Structure 1
Amino acid sequence: MSELTLPVTEVDARAAGTRAVRLEATNHDGSFLGKTVTPKKFAAGAGPGFPFADLLFGLDLGNAPALGFVFPDWRGHLDDVYFRPDLSTWVEWEPGLDAVIGDYWLKDGTPVPICPRNLTRKMVERLGSLGFTATVAVEIEATVFEESVHEARARGYRDLTPLGGSAGTAYHLAKSKDWSGYMNAVADRLDAVGIEWEAWSDEDAAGQIEINLAPGDPITVADAWARTRQIMREVAFDRGHTVTFMAKPTAGYGQASHINLSLQRDGANAFYAEEGPSETMRHAIGGLLATIEGNCSIVLPQITSYRRLVDLSGPPVTVSWGISNKTTAVRAVCGHPSYSRLEYRVPGADANLYLALAGVLAGVIAGVERKIEPPAPVSDMAWCMPPGILTRLPDTISKAAAALEADSTLRELLGSEFVDYWVGSRRWEWMQFHTAGGDPFAELSAWESHRYFELP
Structure 2
Amino acid sequence: MTELTTPARGSHALETRSRTVRLEATNPEGSFLGKNVAREKFTSGVDSGFAFADLLFGLDLGNAPAFGFAYPEWRGHLDDVYFHPDMSTLVEWAPGLDAVIGDYWLKDGTPVPLCPRNLVRKMVDRLSVSGFTATVAVEIEATVFEESVQEARSRGYRDLTPLGGSAGTAYHLAKSNDWVEYMSAVARRLDEVGIAWEAWSDEDAAGQIELNLAPGDPIAVGDAWARTRQVMREVAFEQGRTVTFMAKPTAGYGQASHLNVSLQRDGINAFYAEEGPSATMRHAIGGLLATIEGTASIVLPQITSYRRLVDLSGPPVTVTWGISNKTTAVRAVCGHPTQSRLEYRLPGADANLYLALAGVLAGVIAGVEREIEPPEPVDAMAWCLPPGLGVERLPDTMTKAADKLEQDPILRDLLGAEFVDYWVGTRRWEWMQFHTAGGDPFAELSEWESARYFELP
TM bracket, shorter-chain basis: over 0.9
Large movers: runs of 4+ above 3 Å: 1-8
Give matches, 1:136-155, under 5 Å.
Answer: 136-155=136-155
2:10–2:46: 8 Å Cα contact kept in structure 1?
A: no
Give, in whole Å, the separation in 2 of the partners of 1:165 and 1:147.
Answer: 13
Alignment partner of 1:92: what SS? Answer: strand
Aligned match of 1:64 = 64
Mapping of residues 80-91 of structure 1, within 5 Å = 80-91=80-91
How many angstroms does 1:5 deviate by?
A: 3.3
Q: Quick one: distance in 2 between partners of 1:4 and 1:215?
A: 20
Is the Cα contact below 8 Å between 2:5 and 2:125 reproduced in 1? Answer: no
Paired with 1:416 and 1:144, the residues of 2 have a C-alpha distance of 38
Task: State the AA in 2 paired with 1:422.
Answer: W
Contact 1:134-1:261 at 8 Å conserved across structures: yes
1:6/1:108 CA distance change after superposition, 3 Å: closer
Asked if 1 retains the 8 angstrom alpha-carbon contact of 2:10 and 2:87, the reply is no
Q: Contact 1:284/1:364 (CA < 8 Å) preserved in 2?
A: yes
User: 1:217 is matched with which residue?
Assistant: 217
| CA positional deviation for 1:246 | 0.2
1:148-201 per-residue CA deviation (whole Å, 9 max, x = no partner) reads 000000000000000000110100011110001000000000000000000000
- 5+ residue gaps in structure 1? none
Residue type of the alignment partner of 2:353: L
| Cα deviation code 1:32-52 (max 9, x no counterpart) | 000000000000110010000
State how far apart, in whole Å, the 2-side matches of 1:431 and 1:254 are: 23
Aligned residues between the structures: 453
What pairs with 1:303-322 in structure 2 (closer than 5 Å)? Answer: 303-322=303-322
How far off is 1:370 after superposition? 0.5
Aligned partner of 2:402 in structure 1 is 401
User: Closer, same or farther in 2 for the Cα pair 1:316/1:77, shift >3 Å?
Assistant: same
Give the residue type in structure 1 aligned to 2:410. Answer: T
Please say if residues 9 and 85 of structure 2, whose CA atoms lie closer than 8 Å, have aligned partners that are also in contact: no
Corresponding residue SS for 1:322: strand
Taking the aligned partners of 1:347 and 1:59, their CA distance within structure 2 comes to: 23
**Cα contact 1:4–1:47 (8 A) shared by 2:** no
Structure 1 counterpart SS, 2:331? strand
Unaligned runs of 5+ in 2: none
Task: Please say if residues 285 and 367 of structure 1, whose CA atoms lie closer than 8 Å, have aligned partners that are also in contact.
Answer: yes
On the 8 A contact 1:299/1:352 being kept in 2, the answer is yes
Instruction: Give the 3-state SS of the residue equivalent to 2:40 in structure 1.
Output: helix
TM-score (ref. length: structure 1): 0.98
Deviation of the 1:19 alpha carbon: 1.2
Partner of 1:382: 382
Change (3 A) 1:257 1:3: closer
Measure how far apart 1:3 and its partner are. Answer: 5.7
Report SS of the residue matched to 1:139.
Answer: strand
Pair 1:5 & 2:13 matched: no
Q: Which residue of 2 aligns with 1:441?
A: 442
CA distance in 2, matches of 1:46, 1:125: 24
Task: Specify the alignment match of 1:364 in structure 2.
Answer: 364
The within-5 A match list for 1:116-265 is 116-265=116-265
Cα distance in structure 2, aligned partners of 1:184 and 1:217: 26
Provide the residue aligned with 1:427 in structure 2: 428
**Distance verdict in 2 for CA 1:2–1:125, change over 3 Å:** closer
Q: Are residues 407 and 21 of structure 1, via their aligned partners in 2, closer, same or farther at CA, if it must alter by over 3 Å?
A: same
Is the counterpart of residue 295 in structure 1 residue 295 in structure 2? Answer: yes
Aligned equivalents of 1:447, 1:118: Cα separation in 2: 32
Paired letter, 2:214: A
Amino acid at match of 2:297: S
CA contact 2:172–2:202 (8 Å) conserved in 1: yes
- Offset at residue 2 of structure 1 (A): 6.4
3-state DSSP of counterpart to 1:291: helix
- Specify the SS of the correspondent of 2:319: coil
Q: What is the CA–CA distance in structure 1 between the aligned matches of 2:135 and 2:9, rounded to whole Å?
A: 25
Distance in 1 between residues matched to 2:423 and 2:397, nearest whole Å: 15
Mapped to 2, the partners of 1:7 and 1:432 lie a distance apart of 42
SS of 2:271's partner is coil
Aligned in 2, Cα 1:147/1:121: closer, same or farther, shift over 3 Å? same
Counterpart position of 1:285: 285
Separation in structure 1 between the aligned mates of residue 138 and residue 147 of structure 2, nearest angstrom:
27
Specify the alignment match of 1:391 in structure 2: 392
Offset from partner CA, 1:289-335 (integer Å, 9 cap, x none): 00000000000000000000000000000000000000000000000
CA distance in 1, matches of 2:124, 2:6: 18
Instruction: Give the Cα separation in 2 of the matches to 1:3 and 1:450.
Output: 38
- 1:257-276 equivalences under 5 Å are 257-276=257-276
The alpha-carbon distance between structure 1 residues 220 and 399, as it changes in their structure 2 partners (threshold 3 A), is: same
Q: Over aligned residue pairs, what C-alpha RMSD do you find?
A: 0.9
- Opposite residue 54 of structure 1, the aligned amino acid is D
Tell me the secondary structure at the aligned position of residue 37 of structure 1. Answer: strand
Read off the aligned partner of 1:34 and give its amino acid letter.
Answer: G
